[in-house]
Amino acid sequence: MLPIVEQAQKYLNNIAIFSNGKSFTYAQLVKDSNYFAALLLKDEKDLKEQRIAFMVNPGFDYVKTLWAIWQAGGIAVPLCITHPLPSLEYVLEDTAASTIVLSKEYLAVLQPYINKTNINFIVIEEPALEILPMVNKEQGNFSMPTIDISRKALILYTSGTTNKPKGVVTTHQNIKAQITTLINAWEWSENDKTICVLPLHHVHGIINVVCCSMWAGASCYFIPQFSPKLIFDLFTNNGLNVFMAVPTIYFKLMTYLESISQKEQVALKNVMSSFRLMVCGSAALPISVMEKWEGFSGQRLLERYGMTELGMAISNPYFGERRAGYVGMPLPGVSIKLVNEQYEQASVDEPGEIIVKGDNVFLEYWQNQTATQTSFTKDGWFKTGDIAVIENGYYRIMGRNSVDIIKSGGYKISALEIEEVLRMHEHISDCAVVGIDDEQWGELIVAALVVHDRTFFNEVALSKWLVEKMAAYKKPRKYLLLEELPRNAMGKVVKNEVKKLFES
């Protein structure tokens, strides 16, 4: 029996999932995923790592489908429910998926691909489920293949912010390590109640929220679409005590809080201050957002560091100081080193690239041996491409080597550091700093800005203000005013798109 399904046996009477106005126990989840696994198997004994893609709404059906694919011996390939057909086709063709499972509203999106390829497909809660009339759902358990935890389990695609998305292959062992590390570090228990407001084709949503809560025997709420009011209503009326989101979501929630009365704000702060844990990740958390949220909620956000290839690797402590602007310390069981460009240990107090070892680290990039080999050192450390420095025992992320570390005038400059200063300006609500090719400087520092009111923006005044806050060589040389920054589904700014805006 798979580890996560075995865990569920301990909590059969607990409520696992709330979705679509209904509650589902772990017993229902085990039974229905077992039945659906039999449907996927048909007359086969083991899917033997066939890729099963699924485009299913967040909620009970999503988790049931994920568990069913794993129990049948398949590799789960979650599809983004908001992606256009070309992006979906890229994943389906790259993985050579044998079957697509989908909620009925996505059939129209995928129908052209289904017609073109004649791929097998199953529509959730549609007559297609009757293709196995010999499977009687009331029978209960079905014979499932024995799945070794070293087998491949999941393919998630990188965000593609710096290059073409790659399929990240994790095994059941990798997933177990990613989950149990957080269960222990963040003290998950069956008494927890959380809500998933994150996309479920990314590690933050699928591992940190859904899989961790299911492993612990906790309850996970799902909502049909993002709504600050609905989220706060759930906070107030359903006893939630764990919340995880990205910076853009916290920003939207604070915008809503600013729109309601002082009395309502106080009432919500009383509710949120009793939460056990609130976490932020997937993108750099501006210090201003962290401090403002603490004022609204009474909660000091726990910031952490991870990526698709690792799950989580570094975290601020559950107990102890959660330091603004820092991602904390290595999680138990995860080995971290900072290295120079020759992949030698970086000097004390010197920035270096984060490299990682541990059971949490992925197996390979799907059918991309070259990318896999170049992403690991000769002695097996994964090269993250992220630059950090250790200050008083805490790691501070300076940015990605390829887009956030700008090499200008002989200096290596952190774009994230400049962005943090820019956000302190009274007229700037958001920003993205990048380097563009320049003959004189190597890379020229430029900044895309989102301002509160363009009539009050003055570039000369901003430049004078900046040199009082940072070294002159770090000051952006050009500015571009935007209504909003280009972002991906997780709220990360797509900096290559920002560069294109300057270059064009």
Domain with residues 16-147, CATH architecture: 3-Layer(aba) Sandwich (3.40)
Every domain range in the chain assigned CATH 3.30.300.30: 405-503
Q: Positive or negative, the Cα torsion across 234, 304, 203, 151?
A: negative
Would strands 242-245 and 277-280 be described as parallel, antiparallel, or unpaired? Answer: parallel
Contacts of 381 (CB under 8 A, 6+ apart): 337, 343, 355, 356, 357
- 117 forms beta bridges with none
Q: Angle CA(446)–CA(410)–CA(382) in degrees, nearest 5?
A: 85
Q: Angle CA(198)–CA(203)–CA(207) in degrees, nearest 5?
A: 90
Every domain range in the chain assigned CATH 3.40.50.980: 16-147
Among left, alpha and beta (phi > 0; psi -120 to 50; other), residue 68 is: alpha
List per-residue pLDDT tens for the chain, 504 residues long.
899 999 999 999 999 999 999 999 999 999 999 999 999 999 899 999 999 999 999 999 999 999 999 999 999 999 999 888 988 999 999 999 999 999 999 999 999 999 999 899 999 974 334 444 444 544 455 789 999 999 999 999 986 555 578 999 999 999 999 999 999 999 999 999 999 999 999 999 999 999 999 999 999 999 989 999 999 999 999 999 999 998 889 989 999 999 999 999 999 999 999 999 999 988 778 888 899 999 999 999 999 999 999 999 999 999 999 999 999 999 999 999 999 988 999 988 889 999 999 999 999 999 999 999 999 999 999 999 999 999 999 999 988 777 788 888 777 788 888 998 999 898 999 999 999 988 778 889 999 999 988 888 899 999 889 988 888 889 999 999 999 999 887 778 888 899 999 988
Q: Positive or negative, the Cα torsion across 47, 49, 52, 58?
A: positive
Q: What is the pLDDT of residue 189?
A: 97
405-503 placed in CATH 3.40.800.10: no
Dist CA 339 CA 266 (whole Å):
47
Q: How many alpha carbons fall within 13 Å on the CB side of residue 24?
A: 23
- Contact criterion met (CB below 8 Å) for 428 and 449: yes
Dist CA 300 CA 117 (whole Å):
50
- 389 forms beta bridges with 396
User: Among candidates 452, 445, 458, which has minimal Cα distance to 419?
Assistant: 445
Dist CA 211 CA 72 (whole Å):
18
- The first and second tokens of residue 359, run together, are 């059971």
Cα of first residue to Cα of last residue in the chain, in angstroms, is 55
- Contact criterion met (CB below 8 Å) for 293 and 255: no
DSSP state of 250: H
| Residue located via tokens 């292959």 | 169
Would strands 167-171 and 120-123 be described as parallel, antiparallel, or unpaired? Answer: unpaired
DSSP letter for each residue of 147-210: --TTSEEEEEE---SSSS--EEEEEHHHHHHHHHHHHHHTT--TT-EEEE-S-TTSHIIIIIII
